[in-house]
Amino acid sequence: MLRWIVQECLWTHLRYDTHVSRFFFRLARRKGKKVAAVAAARKLLVAIYWMLRNREEFRAH
């Protein structure tokens, strides 16, 4: 269930120019959109985990 939720968040997240979206498009050229989506969703989930763990707000870099 969590994988599906993060995947849905990723597709919305790709509308904006961020580190994760640039990673997705770069990887999608080489590996395809499905593989890139899983990898980018994992990267997004790791960022969410560390934000929650350190009690920090989101900072776009």
Domain residue spans of the chain? 2-54
Residue 46 C-alpha from the chain's centroid: 9
Percent of the chain whose predicted confidence (pLDDT) is above 90: 80
From residue 40, how far is each of 7, 27, 32, 48, 55 by CA, in Å?
Answer: 9, 9, 12, 12, 22
Residue type, 18: T
Q: Which band of pLDDT confidence, cut at 50, 70 and 90, is reported for residue 59?
A: confident
* pLDDT score recorded for residue 60: 66
First to last CA, the chain: 29
* pLDDT score recorded for residue 7: 94
Cα–Cα distance, 50 to 56 (Å, whole number): 8
